[in-house]
Amino acid sequence: MGSSRAVRKVAFVTDFYPEVHGKWSGAEIACQRLRGLLAEDDIDVSVFTAKAQFPEKKPPFVEEVRLFEDISSQLGSSLKNLFPFDAFAYRFFLKRFRELSPDIVHLHNLKFVSFAPLAAARKLGIPSVFSVYDNWAICPRYCLVNGRGEVCEKFHGLRCVACVPLKKKPFVPFRRPVFRRFLEKLDAVAVLTGSERDRYLKSGVSSEKLHILPLPLFDEGEDCRVLEHTVERNTILFVGRLEHGKGLHVLVEAMPEVLKRFTKARVCVVGEHSGSGKYKMAVQSRIDELGMRSVFSFTGKMGNREIKELLLKSHVVAAPEQWAIAWPIFLTEAMSMGKHIVAGRIGDIPAFIKDGHTGSLAAHDSPADFSRKIIAALEAEKPVNREASTMIRKLCDRRSIKDKLLSIYESARSSARL
């Protein structure tokens, strides 16, 4: 590839894609939005993903990848936790990358697709970029929280035997060297925050390959003076998968104290369970025990535009995260609309939510702290937080992010030529 030729063709690879699959979250939305940014400059972006659950919704630029999971879902998933490589996918990508000849292969979530597209890109001399949305590459539980619920900064190693389920314990001693070998083959790694960059530096990724790339917003949004008139007082919004890591149980335990001060407070829960549904049933049972069935409404999973409509109406947004995640994309949307946010002080959330300014931070596992902060947010004189809106729109400016992304691609191409 000549150094003077601009990037005109990119191959995105992601486990899932919004609307094409039922199982998608913030990482997939980020992938979708980055594709949209590139398409604005007439860059041809193909998206490779797992077998479509809703093939009738698959856009022409999305192509399905043959995976080991298509033959044995349980075995394929277990093996990839040890060795993130799918031979079926590798053969597929070798063939398609030869035919497509992309300037860049941009990797997103890869828990199912694996590092097979990276190996194929290396074989064909195509530069590769990996966007980091969680801690899959450095933690067998993906969350950097140990079995006792404490935040861990030691990354994967023998100590992880105590944290993982029984079936994963035999794989733990091999995970770190295997994942490090694949990470070393990348030409660039895009992270969301400075603290996440530091984390990957400590894990062994070279500083020359690490780049900070914030997430683009859904759109430019409305002026805060307009947004003030959309707020329905005493409404609280929770958006996320119904699993322990998203912390809905903490919000449930916090609400009795909130209701003592605001008897008309109501919570809208958007999201669906990602497993057996036991967590959701346990949370709903606890809501019934506390006599709060009329307080909580469950909508199920919703699309971007539907969530935006709920955001416009909500007074407070609660994000009681229990995992040390990088950047909940939903919070950027909430901040852009000037929502009063109460979030867990964990992971990279404090990197962009400044307590008392762009939002409120509570001890991530403390219902008492969450109730105090929610009450304070509901008592705020102004129904919107203009400081949050101004900060996040500046940080997540679409043109700036597009320029940074293209700069990362050029850096990857330069690295690949060395």
Q: In the 3-class helix/strand/coil scheme, how is 172-204 assigned residue by residue?
A: HHHHHHHHHHHHHCCCEEEECCHHHHHHHHHCC
**pTM passes above 0.85:** yes
Predicted confidence at residue 97, as pLDDT, reads 98
Q: How confident is the model at residue 241 (pLDDT cuts 50, 70, 90)?
A: confident
What is the DSSP track for 257-305? HHHHH-TT-EEEEE---SSSSHHHHHHHHHHHHTT-TTTEEEEE---HH
CB 177 within 8 A of CB 169: no
Helix (H, G, I), strand (E, B) or coil at 9: strand
The predicted model gives 338-350 an average pLDDT of 92
Q: CATH number of the domain at 9-216+397-417, out of 3.40.50.2000, 3.40.1550.10, 3.40.920.10, 3.90.1150.10?
A: 3.40.50.2000
Chain Cα centroid distance, residue 227: 26
Whole-number pLDDT of residue 275 = 67
DSSP 359: B
Closest CA to 108 of 31, 46, 181, 44: 31
Q: Is the pLDDT of residue 380 over 60?
A: yes
Cα distance between residue 400 and residue 32, in whole Å? 17
Q: Mean pLDDT, to the nearest integer, of 29-36?
A: 93
pLDDT at 195 over 90: no
User: 95-120, pLDDT tens digit by residue?
Assistant: 999 999 999 999 999 988 999 999 99
Could you tell me the residue ranges of all domains in the chain? 9-216+397-417, 224-395
The per-residue pLDDT for 2 is 41
Two domains, one topology: 9-216+397-417 and 224-395: yes
Output the pLDDT for position 213: 94
Q: Provide the residue count of the chain.
A: 418
d(CA 40, CA 22): 26
| pLDDT for the residue 326 | 66
Q: Is the pLDDT of residue 131 over 90?
A: yes
Three-class SS state of 113: coil
pLDDT tens digits for range 41-76: 999 999 999 999 999 999 999 999 988 876 655 554
pLDDT at site 164:
80
CATH no. for 224-395: 3.40.50.2000
| Helices and strands: H and E segment counts in the chain | 14, 13
pLDDT of the residue at 139? 87
